[in-house]
Amino acid sequence: MNATIVVSIAMSIVAAATPLLLAALGELVAEKSGTLNLGVEGMMLLGAVSAAIVALTTGDLWLAAGAAALAGALGAGLFAVLTLSLTANQVATGLALTIFGQGVSSLVGKDFVGREVHRLPEVFPAALAEHPLARVLFGYDAFVYFSVAAALAVAWFLSRTRAGLVLRAVGEGDSSAHALGYRVIAVRYGASLFGGAMAGLAGAYFSLSLTPTWAVGLTAGRGWIALALVTFSGWRPGRLLFGAYLFGAMMIFELQAKAFGLTLVPPEALAMAPYLATIAALTIISAGRAGANLRAPACLGKPFRATA
């Protein structure tokens, strides 16, 4: 295996990990505030179809990315109204949001299926990434660098800023935070909208860079892996960054095994590997001492009703 192949595999892992990282970061912030939104897959699909439609009709890829973030935020806003203002069950509403996103994306994107979208350009000049090893650092589009920067920014925000401490306080003890004068519902609305926007951007990465086209069910269940990553990371952005690239490597393993003619394992089993790894990771970290160290927000998924 020469250096060119190794570099190609490394870049493929980065590409596979980027949408997982974007979506999981948004969900991590939402869950830190005490909001459990299982509709990540639906918001990703809303973002993916919005980005594809805007890119194909206007040709402006950055406008398309903005439309994807807006679409994801609107989906999260609908979820927030139902669960935070109307105190609907968060698990059921999140699952309904996934179904809603699948249906709406299929409907509005039916005339755009299979149409090729211009791929996002690389950030750095081509001359800077001519050497195979240099391409590992300088051969990506803006989404890749943004995802890593976002992971660092979220880690700094949660641990080093007053707003981040308030958000964590709301997630750990909403009644206590309310008694101290913090607006619990407003904080959770903001966190939910951020999570939706990030999920929308994760979907946009599929239709603007990874594929790039629109197809029904384009995200192929990646939203569920992003949800699992939040738990896998113990709600810590640094671990989330590592986990996203680990699961990205699992996805690329399937493709590379086929490319190298690995026949000992059926192709169907290889395709299942990332999802089996998701289940295995959740099982392992939820058991025994590992489960005790998950540090899930104490108010995660619990409705809040302000008292006088």
33-42 pLDDT, tens digit each: 999 999 999 9
220-247 pLDDT, tens digit each: 899 999 998 998 888 999 999 998 998 8
User: Among 131-135, 258-262, 267-271, which stretch is predicted with the lowest mean pLDDT?
Assistant: 258-262
Burial (0-12, 13-18, 19+ Cβ within 10 Å), 104? middle
Residue 286 — very low, low, confident or very high, per pLDDT cuts 50/70/90? low
The domain locations on the chain are: 3-219
d(Cα 166, Cα 189) in Å, to the nearest integer? 13
Go through 174-192 and write b for each residue having 16 or more CB atoms within 10 A of its CB, e for each that does not.
Answer: beebbeeeeebbebbbbbb
**Which token pair is 269?**
């089993």
Look-up of token digits 């008694």: 179
**Which token pair is 225?**
């892996």
Residue 289 — very low, low, confident or very high, per pLDDT cuts 50/70/90? very low
d(Cα 18, Cα 54) in Å, to the nearest integer? 21
Model pTM? 0.91
Task: Say if residue 285's pLDDT is above 60.
Answer: no
Residues of the chain above pLDDT 70, percent: 87
At 5 the pLDDT is 78
